[in-house]
Structure 1
Amino acid sequence: MAGIARTCLQSTLKIVNSTLGLFGVAMVLYGLWMSRVWQRDMQDSSFDDFDSSAPWFIYTFLSIGVTLCLITCLGHISADCSNGFFLSCYMEIIFVILLLETALAADILLNSEWEKDLPEDPTGRFHDFREFVESNFDFFKWIGIFIILAQGLSMLLAMALRALGPSNESNYDIDDEHPPARLPLISHHLQQPPYVVGEPRFPMKNDAWNTNK
């Protein structure tokens, strides 16, 4: 039963963890598209028309996407090996991400001038992204809730898998059910030697004694 429960937890953790990976891949693709548009605008216009500051929004988007992809890889490795160290690292990273998301959401909701804390974006993509999110607020709200639920469920599954421990007993169970075939040290069917070594026959002694007598 423990082996079946461990297998189910591993498969479920991989499926839930894949949602973070898909979200990270989407962010990387969107960041690459924004970077391509930024480079095209830089080529079409003169350099003096743009601010010399770096496009931090694009770099931040790409960094978050790559980080989520790496966390997904760590989650899959942890689910496969069921190692306590990897599972603990995975849970700690997910917990830190949840704290950062909670702090960011609280700052946006409570601080009406939160945009002033951010540096100026020379690409203008942050403004476009904000307008796109506001125009599709219900859609992005459900996406955010789904991602937070996936992260919380990943932590619970990792905790349960860590409590079960590694699957070290499975090899012993297989060995007990199917013992390996072993050759006996001494064969039961020994080939008879071409000659027999034994004690001399007593009748021969008797015949020789009678003859001498």
Structure 2
Amino acid sequence: MGRLVRSCLQSVLKLVNSVIGLTGLAMILYSLWMMRVWYKQFNGDPTPPWFIYSFLGLGVSVCLIAFSGHVAAETSNGHCLSCYMVFVFLLVMMEAAITADVFLNKYWEEDFPNDPTGRFDSFKNFVRSNFEMCKWIGLVIATAQILSILLAIVLKALGQDHGNFDDSDDDYTPARLPLLRNHVQPYYVEPHLSFNGSWNVNK
């Protein structure tokens, strides 16, 4: 029963983690598309703006986190699960800080460097014009991240499945091997009867 529950949790964690991985992959593809437009527009200028690099770096980081989550779900190793939970928690905290800054600070745009390409402005306009869709996408991503942390906590609590014994063998205690393999056999001395009828031990 415990193995079945662990297997189900591993599958669900992989499924939820795939949402995070697809998000990172989409960010990488979008940043590569912006970089292509940048080089095409400015005739191979070797210094793309901060927004493109930030998007690319964040996308790569999210994909690495998703990869570590897949490994952690597959192995159910406590150390891997702990690292995965820390990475996802830091990602959630960063997203929460950016969201709080956007909604609570009227001058949040001044916190970011100037973007000469205008891609940052076009991204903002796209979000504003499709706010409902972007809101639901953000909620799905945030829910997947929180669920991944909770599932990792449960998997870590269950422990690693070593797969040595079946569930039916839990009631039986495995035979213990002796501490010393070479036992010293007791030395028995055969008694001999003397002529006077008494027993003498042959030394």
Q: Which TM-score applies when normalising by structure 2?
A: 0.79
Contact 1:71 / 1:90 at 8 angstroms: preserved in 2? yes
Amino acid at match of 2:22: L
- Does structure 1 conserve the Cα–Cα contact (< 8 Å) formed by 2:85 and 2:149? yes
Match of 2:9 in 1: 9
| Higher RCO structure, 1 or 2 (CA under 8 Å, sep 6+) | 1
Query: What one-letter code is carried by the residue in structure 2 that aligns with 1:40?
Result: K
**How big is the shift at 1:94?**
1.0
1:42-57 maps to which residues of 2 (within 5 A)? 42-43=42-43, 54-57=48-51
Equivalents in 1 of 2:47, 2:56: separation in Å? 17
- Unmatched runs of 5 consecutive residues or more in structure 1: 178-213
1:102-117 matches, within 5 Å, as 102-117=96-111
Matched, 1:142 2:158: no
d(CA) in 1 for partners of 2:51 and 2:166? 54
Contact 1:54–1:122 under 8 Å retained in 2: no
Alpha-carbon deviations, 1:41-87, whole Å to 9, x = none? 0119xx7xxxx974100001111111111001000000011000000
- Give runs of aligned pairs for residues 109-188 of structure 1, distance below 5 A: 109-168=103-162, 170-173=163-166
Query: Which residue number in structure 1 is paired with residue 72 of structure 2?
Result: 78
Q: Residue 20 of structure 2 aligns with which residue?
A: 20
Match for residue 97 of structure 1 among 91, 94, 118: 91
How many Å apart are 1:100 and its aligned residue? 1.1
Provide the C-alpha distance between the structure 2 equivalents of 1:99 and 1:137, rounded to a whole number of angstroms. 22
* Preserved contact between residue 72 and residue 80 of structure 2 (Cα < 8 Å): yes
Letter in 1 for 2:7: T
1:82, 1:162 within 8 Å by CA — same for their partners in 2?
yes
- Aligned partner of 2:190 in structure 1 is none
Q: 1:175 & 1:110 partners in 2: Cα distance?
A: 58
Asked if the contact 2:35–2:48 (Cα under 8 Å) also holds between the matched residues in 1, the reply is no
The answer for unaligned runs of 5 or more in structure 2 is: 171-203
**In 2: Cα distance, 1:19 partner to 1:71 partner:** 12
Identity across the alignment (%)? 52
TM-score, length basis structure 1: 0.76
- Partner AA of 1:62 in structure 2: L
SS at match of 1:172: coil
Q: CA deviation at 1:30?
A: 0.6
Superposition deviation, residue 173 in structure 1? 2.0
**CA RMSD, aligned part only?**
1.9
Q: Deviations over 1:82-113 (max 9, x none)?
A: 00000001111111111111111111111111
Summarize deviations over 1:144-203 as a string: whole Å, max 9, x none.
1111110000001000000000002x22228959xxxxxxxxxxxxxxxxxxxxxxxxxx
Name the structure where helix makes up a greater proportion of residues: 1
